[in-house]
Amino acid sequence: QVQLAESGGGAVQAGGSLRLSCAPSGSFLSRYCMGWFRQAPGKERESVAFVDTDGSTNHANSVKGRFTVSQDKVTRHLSLQMNNLEIEDTAMYYCAAGSCRWVDGVYSLDSVSFWGQGTQVTVST
């Protein structure tokens, strides 16, 4: 069974940086679109960024210019470099794998087959 192992979360001051990693294991096929979601207490889960099967990337407007998603072509490891972190970035971050598709006119990673266990990111003043 495919598993996604996340790491790299922690506590950081506003303006600081963190790098999240997601390592797939098992029979992981290259056909999966992979990305990151986050959810803060009392808030809806939201997509942060994803890498499509063709290598193209997408970032949510709230993190564009600050976060960069990337994927190793050989290992398929997924990374999220987070710079200039803000308090609003505080959330549990989840790695996900599935299908990127058009949903209500928006191309998104909305058909998720596998989820990571989550890694906490806490940004303080």
Confidence of residue 27 (pLDDT cuts 50, 70, 90): confident
Helix (H, G, I), strand (E, B) or coil at 62: coil
Confidence of residue 26 (pLDDT cuts 50, 70, 90): confident
Residues 76-107 pLDDT 10s: 999 999 999 999 999 999 999 999 999 899 89
pLDDT for residue 123 is more than 70: yes
pLDDT at residue number 29:
64
**Which residues 6+ apart lie within 8 Å of 86 measured at CB?**
14, 66, 123
Residues 40-66 pLDDT 10s: 999 999 999 999 989 999 999 999 999
In the block, tokens 């970035």 appear at 89
- What is the dihedral sign for C-alpha 46, 27, 51, 23? positive
